[in-house]
Structures are given as C-alpha cells and as structure tokens.
Amino acid sequence: MNTITIFAPATVANVSCGFDAMGFALETLGDKMTFTKTASKKITISKIEGAELPFDTDKNVAGVVAQAMLKDSNAAFGVNIEIYKNFKPGSGLGSSAASASGTAFAINQFLNNKYTNLELVKFAMLGEIAACGSAIADNVAAAIYGGFILVRSYEPLDIISIPTPKELMVTAIHPQIEVKTADARKVIPSKITLKTAIAQWANVGGLISGLHTENYDLIANSLVDYVAEPARKHLIPYFDEVKESSLKSGALGVGISGSGPTIFALSKGIETANKVAEAMQKTYSETGIKYEIHVSKINETGSKIITKWNIIV
C-alpha cells in the first residue's frame, strides 16, 4: 500500500476527576486523514477541509509528528497529507490530538508498525506541544489506544488501558464558541488543599474501580471534579444549567470535556443518553448560541484504517 485513509477519533480528556490523567475516545465523531507515500522524502500537506489550519508542516501538528517519525526511522520516503476535520479546533474534544494521533498511527502503518502504541503517544505529544505548548498525553493516548486510558506517569510515560462497561454511552454538547487550551490552563489553581487533593484522588480510584467492575453507581459517585471544573465552568455559558438538566434526565455524571467548551455526560444505555441529549438541547435552544450534540458509544479501538490502496504512477 502507498495510500491510506484513516479515522482519528474525537476524545474526552480529564473525565471530571482525572485532570491530565484520564481520557476516552468517541466512536461516532472524528477526523478523516489521507496519507500518500512520495519519493521526495519531504512532508507536504495538500488539502485541509473543515478548519483553518496552517499548511506549513512546521506549524501544523500533523506535519510536526510526521517529520519527527520519518527522521527517527530514517525513512526512505516522504508523505503527503490530506486533513478532513469533522469537529472544530478549540472544541475540547481533542481536535489537535486527532490530527497528531491519526498521523502517528498512519505513518506507523507505512513503517510496518515499527513503533509501539506507547511510542506513538510520545510522537503525538510533539503535536500537542505545537498546538498548545504542553506535552499533554490524555487525548492522544485515548485516540491511539481507544477506550478509557490512564496516564499513570509522565516520567517515564506509562499509559494504562481501562475496561469500558458495555452499556456506557457518552452525550456531548459543543457550544459553537472557542475556549483555547492555553487560556483554560491559566485558570487552574497552582495549589490545592490536602482535603481537596484527597477527595480528587479518591474519585479517580473510584472511577477506575467502577469501570473495571461495571459498577454504574460507583462511576456516578466518582464523576466529581474538585479541581478543574470549579475554575473553568465560568468559561462555558450555561454550564450549570446543562449539568443540572442532564443529571435530572438520568446521566451518571456531567463534566467539562478537556478544556471546554464541550460538556460531556456519561450514561447507562442509549435510551438515557438520548434523554440527556434532549435535555441539553432544550437548555441551549433558548440561549441564542449555536451548538452541536453528539451521542456515541465509547470507541474501544482508537485510530483505524478506513481504506488502503496502491496507486500506480
């Protein structure tokens, strides 16, 4: 094969209590990217649809990741990239992570799977540095591994896959405003009390245990964020109203996806997830703010190949 088209999923990071340490991938929302081998040994980006992103490979996260991988592997070929964005940058759904992780996954296919998933995360993190200035792993790890992940350690990097309960669904509302990751990180407190830290750690443990045992009550009780949500929710219009209406509709928990403005809710079963979507829609339909709502299963496979073929020139 010398041309492949891949799907790179949108992701929810933090998952309420797991700030910078947890994330999961969505099944029904993500980007498509097409990669073609070239003889030039250069990286080029020939097409970008769905968002205004730089074609300069030194400034585009896909270009940054691709260049790093080809250099590290001493590849004897170059790659042309086409990017088809299906959700906007600044959504809180891992837009830059989708481009970075999708690129890492695709280039690895051309390299006969030379790199492990953990190594692909390290390459994809270079894209996150280019996008927001921070080597964040939660979104890119979720997009590469699929399902729920825990970033157990950054030094050294250690990614743990966590089981996904069969009936777990996500509903996400994306208000059509932008919250930049760099700006959202500035409002996070640099210090928290020991009491707050203990409560947050306990919820992370409870959430992971609930996911392993499919204990939906434990999952619900653990989806509480004492650190990021109180500091960030003022950046998202009507956050409290959406959270209240979603919980009343049966959601297990509601939180900010990544740095926002997307608000996510986890539910047991598609029926409840759809009820939560209706509640979110009702809340935002009267605000005058445009929005998109997505209902999805958890994507347990991560980035994947859609098509692959050989082009004879």
Contact 43, 88 (CB under 8 A): no
Residue 194 CB neighbour total at 10 angstroms: 7
Task: Return the axis-axis angle of helices 117-132 and 95-110, rounded to nearest 10°.
Answer: 140
Structure-token pair, residue 130: 């280019």
The whole-angstrom separation of Cα 98 and Cα 116 is: 18
The neighbouring-strand residues paired with 34 are 5, 82
Q: Is 286 a catalytic residue?
A: no
Structure-token pair, residue 76: 């004897």
Structure-token pair, residue 9: 């999923």
Collapsing DSSP states into helix, strand and coil, what is residue 32? strand
- Of 164, 181, 272, 283, catalytic: 181
Q: Is 181 a catalytic residue?
A: yes
Contact 85, 95 (CB under 8 A): yes
Q: Give me the amino acid identity at 189.
A: P
Which of 142, 172, 163, 165 is CA-nearest to residue 20? 142
The whole-angstrom separation of Cα 263 and Cα 92 is: 8
The whole-angstrom separation of Cα 98 and Cα 149 is: 15
Contact 13, 22 (CB under 8 A): yes
Active site residues: 128, 181
